[in-house]
């Protein structure tokens, strides 16, 4: 869902598909969800049947965060021993041992040794407690910062800080221009010290990115950098703007990250492209009492950018982000990924009632109910985090690259295919789509800006992961249909002079 903003128009667009239309398909061991109102039994019921599995999780998992509430049904597990033999459902003690192995407590000493039995009905609360350890205290979260004014979190001002017609994402961080020239600013300003913010360029179009004061007035012809107290960098035309314009910087492309730095003590503004400084753009900017600068961006029709309030991708020494980096989200994502690894490296022997250690690289999605429900609990918290650029790049991409570090062909690492199956199974389509888009953009940036050594080792490493992702059929089809490749036809004709199509029978 997103919002349309204009000077005189505010319309909510129903652009998110109906969540109830979701159908999750399991490869084997398919199970059915019971009526969510049937809550009288201590243990849920599971039965094997061919067909589809609709979203089915406990009511503890009804909220996915990010402003979207998704209602899910309940899994019901039977404690019947005969049914356990037929469906792979384990007894209570073995299930408790398995869940404690996957979700180990961080407590030590006598409390840990006297752990309580753990089942799926208690897992939601147990997982919430483990993740709450990464939440910052209220004192730290609400502590004011000198030189900065505005709310937390920092988002784009959708009430009064815009001009023109804009499509703004639900999280108030992504924007699509929908008029000749539109402008928008953030909700936070700075008046003292050294500050920075980042913007992810999602389309290679005309944009002017920088800083402005509250007194700046824009229209559909003039934007950031076209008024005396606004300053902008334009990577499309490779220029800087402050009423007049001169050559500056480098050309940007979709997937690049622009860092905007302002030093209010020295009165300078500098820009960086993918972590590389482009040099000081402006000096002697206006400062003093009553002067504060807002992050601001102007863009043309159908151009897209994502405002990143956390300067995490390319931090600059001495400069503070407008909002503290998402340390809590980062620690949560790493912890949840650790739980996924625990699932991949363990198995349940229902015949011998014991846990087994397995090779993670050979793990496969067999549709075992206990494993699937465990993973569903993990992904309930993990999926919303994978829609964030920084977490995809710092957590997910590095984990997938680690799988390929052993060498060999991409086909020798089927775990990546299995993980992508899990993503499509346990995440909403819009979450997988956003995650894949950010993953491919991160791989592209890493490929373009990694150090070049004689054997091109870094570039080959990123290409291998890209190839592994594209080997996954559903992910490949989505990327081909939804990622703007912008390939020049002249270059294709030179590389591939003769092509073959299913209806082309010429034997050239």
Give the list of residues 6+ apart from residue 95 with CB closer than 8 angstroms, or none. Answer: 118, 119, 120, 370
Is the pLDDT at 433 greater than 70? The verdict is yes
Locate 404 and state its tokens.
């390929």
Is the pLDDT at 78 greater than 60? The verdict is no
How far apart are the C-alpha atoms of 321 and 303, rounded to whole Å? 25
How far apart are the C-alpha atoms of 504 and 508, rounded to whole Å? 10
Angle at CA of residue 277, ends 274 and 279, nearest 5°: 145
The residues facing 211 across adjacent strands are 231, 295
Given phi > 0 = left and psi -120 to 50 = alpha, else beta, which region is 65? left
pLDDT at 374 (0 to 100):
94
Confidence of residue 185 (pLDDT cuts 50, 70, 90): confident
pLDDT at 142 (0 to 100):
52
pLDDT at 206 (0 to 100):
85
Is the pLDDT at 132 greater than 60? The verdict is yes
Is the pLDDT at 215 greater than 50? The verdict is yes
Given phi > 0 = left and psi -120 to 50 = alpha, else beta, which region is 84? alpha
Closest by CA position to 413, among listed 368, 360, 456: 360
Closest by CA position to 10, among listed 201, 160, 180: 160
Residue of higher predicted confidence among 200 and 345: 345
Locate 88 and state its tokens.
């792979």
State how beta strands 346-349 and 354-357 pair: antiparallel
Q: Are 277 and 235 in contact (CB under 8 A)?
A: no
Question: For residue range 359-401, what is the model confidence (pLDDT) as tens digits?
Answer: 888 888 787 889 999 999 999 999 999 988 788 988 999 999 9
Grouping H, G, I as helix, E, B as strand and the rest as coil, residue 189 is strand
pLDDT at 64 (0 to 100):
38
Residue of higher predicted confidence among 408 and 259: 259
Confidence of residue 170 (pLDDT cuts 50, 70, 90): low
DSSP 8-state code for residue 356: E
Closest by CA position to 18, among listed 70, 67, 59: 70
Q: Are 465 and 447 in contact (CB under 8 A)?
A: no
pLDDT at 159 (0 to 100):
75
pLDDT at 484 (0 to 100):
60
How far, in Å, are 54, 204, 237, 271 from residue 259 at the CA level?
A: 43, 16, 17, 6
Percent of the chain with pLDDT over 70: 72
Closest by CA position to 302, among listed 441, 485, 164: 164
Confidence of residue 441 (pLDDT cuts 50, 70, 90): confident
Question: For residue range 309-332, what is the model confidence (pLDDT) as tens digits?
Answer: 555 678 889 999 887 777 888 899
Is the pLDDT at 77 greater than 80? The verdict is no
**Spans of all domains in the chain:** 2-17+26-135+327-385, 153-321
Confidence of residue 480 (pLDDT cuts 50, 70, 90): confident
Confidence of residue 176 (pLDDT cuts 50, 70, 90): confident
pLDDT at 112 (0 to 100):
47
Lowest mean pLDDT of 111-115, 167-171, 408-412, name the range. Answer: 111-115
pLDDT at 169 (0 to 100):
63
Closest by CA position to 196, among listed 315, 22, 31, 57: 315
Is the pLDDT at 88 greater than 90? The verdict is no
pLDDT at 3 (0 to 100):
46
Is the pLDDT at 32 greater than 70? The verdict is no
pLDDT at 352 (0 to 100):
81
Residue of higher predicted confidence among 163 and 74: 163
Lowest mean pLDDT of 212-221, 230-239, 290-299, name the range. Answer: 212-221
How far apart are the C-alpha atoms of 62 and 73, rounded to whole Å? 9
CATH of domain 153-321: 2.60.120.920
Is the pLDDT at 27 greater than 90? The verdict is no
Confidence of residue 171 (pLDDT cuts 50, 70, 90): low
pLDDT at 33 (0 to 100):
34
Mean pLDDT for all residues in the chain: 76
pLDDT at 163 (0 to 100):
67
Q: What is the dihedral of CA 381, 387, 388, 392, to 10 degrees?
A: 90
Helices (H) and strands (E) in the chain, counts: 14, 21
429-449 vs 457-470: helix crossing angle, rounded to 10: 160
């Amino acid at each position: 869902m997103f919002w349309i903003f204009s000077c005189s128009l505010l319309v909510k667009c129903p652009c998110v598909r109906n969540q109830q239309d979701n159908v999750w398909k399991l490869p084997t061991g398919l199970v059915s969800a019971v009526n969510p109102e049937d809550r009288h039994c201590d243990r849920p019921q599971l039965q094997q049947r061919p067909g589809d599995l609709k979203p089915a999780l406990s009511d503890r998992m009804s909220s996915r965060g990010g402003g979207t509430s998704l209602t899910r049904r309940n899994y019901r597990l039977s404690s019947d021993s005969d049914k356990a033999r037929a469906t792979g459902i384990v007894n209570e003690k073995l299930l408790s041992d398995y869940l404690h192995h996957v979700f180990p407590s961080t407590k030590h000493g006598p409390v840990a040794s006297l752990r309580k039995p753990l089942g799926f009905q208690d897992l939601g609360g147990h997982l919430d407690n483990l993740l709450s350890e990464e939440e910052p205290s209220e004192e730290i979260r609400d502590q004011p910062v000198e030189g900065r004014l505005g709310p937390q979190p920092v988002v784009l001002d959708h009430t009064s800080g815009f001009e023109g017609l804009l499509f703004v994402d639900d999280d108030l961080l992504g924007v699509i221009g929908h008029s000749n020239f539109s402008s928008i600013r953030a909700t936070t300003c700075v008046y003292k010290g050294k500050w920075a913010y980042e913007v992810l360029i999602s389309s290679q179009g005309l944009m002017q990115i920088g800083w402005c004061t509250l007194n700046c007035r824009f229209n559909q012809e003039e934007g950031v950098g076209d008024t005396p107290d606004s300053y902008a960098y334009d990577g499309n035309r490779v220029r800087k703007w402050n009423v007049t314009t001169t050559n500056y910087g480098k050309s940007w492309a979709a997937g690049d990250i622009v860092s905007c730095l302002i030093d209010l003590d020295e009165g300078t503004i500098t820009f960086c492209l993918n972590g590389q400084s482009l040099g000081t753009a402006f000096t002697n900017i206006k400062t003093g009492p009553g002067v504060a600068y807002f992050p601001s961006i102007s863009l043309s029709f159908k151009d897209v950018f994502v405002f990143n309030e956390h300067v995490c991708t390319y931090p600059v020494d001495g400069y503070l982000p407008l909002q503290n980096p998402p340390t809590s989200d980062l620690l949560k994502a790493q912890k949840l990924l650790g739980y996924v690894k625990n699932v991949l490296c363990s198995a349940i022997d229902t015949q011998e009632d014991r846990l087994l250690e397995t090779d993670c690289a050979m793990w496969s999605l067999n549709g075992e109910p206990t494993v699937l429900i465990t993973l569903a609990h993990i992904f309930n918290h993990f999926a919303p985090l994978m829609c964030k650029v920084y977490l995809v790049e710092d957590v997910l991409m590095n984990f997938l690259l680690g799988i390929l570090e052993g060498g060999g062909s991409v086909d020798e690492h089927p775990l990546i295919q299995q993980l992508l199956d899990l993503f499509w199974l346990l995440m909403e389509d819009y979450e997988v789509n956003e995650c894949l888009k950010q993953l491919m953009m991160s791989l592209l940036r890493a490929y373009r800006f990694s150090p070049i050594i004689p054997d091109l080792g870094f570039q080959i490493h990123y290409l291998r992961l890209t190839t592994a992702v594209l080997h996954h059929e559903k992910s490949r089809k989505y990327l081909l249909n939804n990622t703007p490749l912008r390939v020049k036809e002249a270059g294709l004709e030179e590389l591939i002079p003769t092509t073959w199509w299913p209806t082309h029978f010429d034997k050239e």
